[in-house]
Amino acid sequence: MAELHEIEVTAAGWRADKLIAEALPELSRSAVQNLIRDGHVTCDNKIVQKSTKLAPGSVLCVEIPEARPLDVKAENIPLDIVYEDDDLLVVNKPKGMVVHPAAGNYDGTLVNALLYHCGESLSGINGVIRPGIVHRIDKDTSGLLIVAKNDTAHRHLAEQIKAHSFTREYRAVVYGKIREDGTVDAPIARHPQDRKRMAVQNTPNARNAVTHYFVTKNFTGFTQLRLRLETGRTHQIRVHMAYIGHPVAGDPVYGPKKVITQLHGQCLHAGLIGFIHPRTGEYMEFEAPLPPYFTDFLKTLHAEDE
């Protein structure tokens, strides 16, 4: 059965897509756009577009269709499961694994593996049965992801992300020497020329983004950092570190043209995750050790400094 949400417009200037994203944080941006595109969002019985400006006092009606099967096959791919219960899993994703199937990556993804491991015990939020992907990390970023097994868990976790009570801490090696801890508070939006990249911008479509970083160790030409996300924008750490002149080592998109090939992508690891369990209310925190590609690179930097 379809799920119906009514959202009251309390102020002028709201766009339909942004109001829905604010009111229903469990829906991804693409899910919101798809709902609007497919005519599932109305205001005063009229179908709205994502850029429709809404009048104060009006009511936005959002219909979320019943979840439909995802046309992706289950694959017996080994998973490094750090924690699992009836509501969620915490998975340590390896570098090189795509989280969700998309053009060019229809198999071998985390979703393919989850379908095999969990079967039908996965959340169906976003109008399609997607294996509970509450948040993502890039293909060439390793580390911890939380996966919801039911819609209730998915909503609770999504609300924590929105409220910034969801702990996400990364480990990275960046170019250059950073001497002190700091914070990057700079809004991020899609790059105006290259749609595959993000960029720091002060435009109406930019979303606030805050990254805190802490110096772990300095090397010649590099710094090892611990980074904590206050927000979770696409490519946030990679964009922010490049913005302050210290791109992540090995980053082929935001780093220097001469890429460190031994890293096979950015030296970035989602090392710690913390959240309030949606059923028990208990705060839980998990940490994943640095993977071999990361520790091998640190050994190289140590050797060069000796």
- Secondary structure class of 206 (helix, strand, coil): coil
Q: 18: which 2 tokens?
A: 């942004």
Residue 177, CA distances (Å) to 118, 162, 180, 220 in order: 44, 33, 9, 8
Q: ∠ at Cα 225 (222, 100), nearest 5°? A: 105
What is the spatial distance between Cα 63 and Cα 3, in angstroms, rounded to a whole number?
6
Set 138, 140, 194, 251: catalytic member:
138
Q: In what order do the strands lie in the sheet with 3-8?
A: 3-8, 59-64, 41-43, 46-47
Supply the DSSP symbol for 262: G
Cα atoms in the Cβ-side hemisphere of radius 13 Å centred on 38: 13
185 Cβ contact partners less than 8 Å away, ≥ 6 residues apart? 208, 209, 210
What is the spatial distance between Cα 224 and Cα 215, in angstroms, rounded to a whole number?
6
Q: Is 140 a catalytic residue?
A: no
Amino acid at 16: A
Q: What is the largest CA-CA distance in the chain?
A: 71
What is the spatial distance between Cα 226 and Cα 144, in angstroms, rounded to a whole number?
15
Report the candidate in 290, 289, 272, 95 with the shortest Cα–Cα distance to residue 173. Answer: 290
Which residues are catalytically annotated?
Answer: 138
